[in-house]
Amino acid sequence: MDTREIQKLIDFISKSDLSEVNIETSELKLQIKRNGNSPVQYVAAPVFEAVAPQNETVAAPVREAVAAAPVETVASTSHLIEIKAPMIGTFYRSGGPGKPNFVEVGDEIASGKVICILEAMKLFNEIESEISGKIVKILVDDATPVEYDQPLFLVDPS
């Protein structure tokens, strides 16, 4: 996929109702997301760095996005458990403005502990953990919309 094809795809998505597109080939993994009315954002990363050498005809922003994209190994996160959104809503890390967050990275959580709030139609639903462990990563920014079954947290159960 060359730069012109990527730009055409971005233009198409910005004019459509699509909110996310993922394309994966043997040489490239392309993820394009739009959050609400914000501009389209994209990340292009080689699937295997040795297989996809840098091409000088690629535009500088794409080349920089490819170079800056983190490469995570499956083995390092295979033991982690995802806590997923049980419903559609807006994700909140705390009980209100000025209040402390329910959990931070590194916190130990137990089954039944409130870890976030999902607000849907002006109803604020406290989400409790169903597992015990240590919060490794928070995958969603505060006050952002989430979809059903979207991963919210990564937890190390050990």
pLDDT tens digits for 51-92? 444 444 445 555 555 455 555 444 456 789 999 999 999 999
Assigned token pair, 46: 């080689």
Assigned token pair, 55: 């091409």
Confidence of residue 48 (pLDDT cuts 50, 70, 90): very low
Closest by Cα among 27, 155, 26, 35 to 103: 155
What percentage of the chain exceeds 90 in pLDDT? 47
Q: Which domains does the chain have, with CATH numbers?
A: 3-71 (no CATH), 77-156 (2.40.50.100)
Give residues with Cβ within 8 angstroms of 77, minimum separation 6: 154
| pTM score | 0.52
The three-state secondary structure class of 144 is strand
DSSP 93: S
- For 98-139, the pLDDT digits (tens) are 999 999 999 999 999 999 999 998 899 999 999 999 999 999
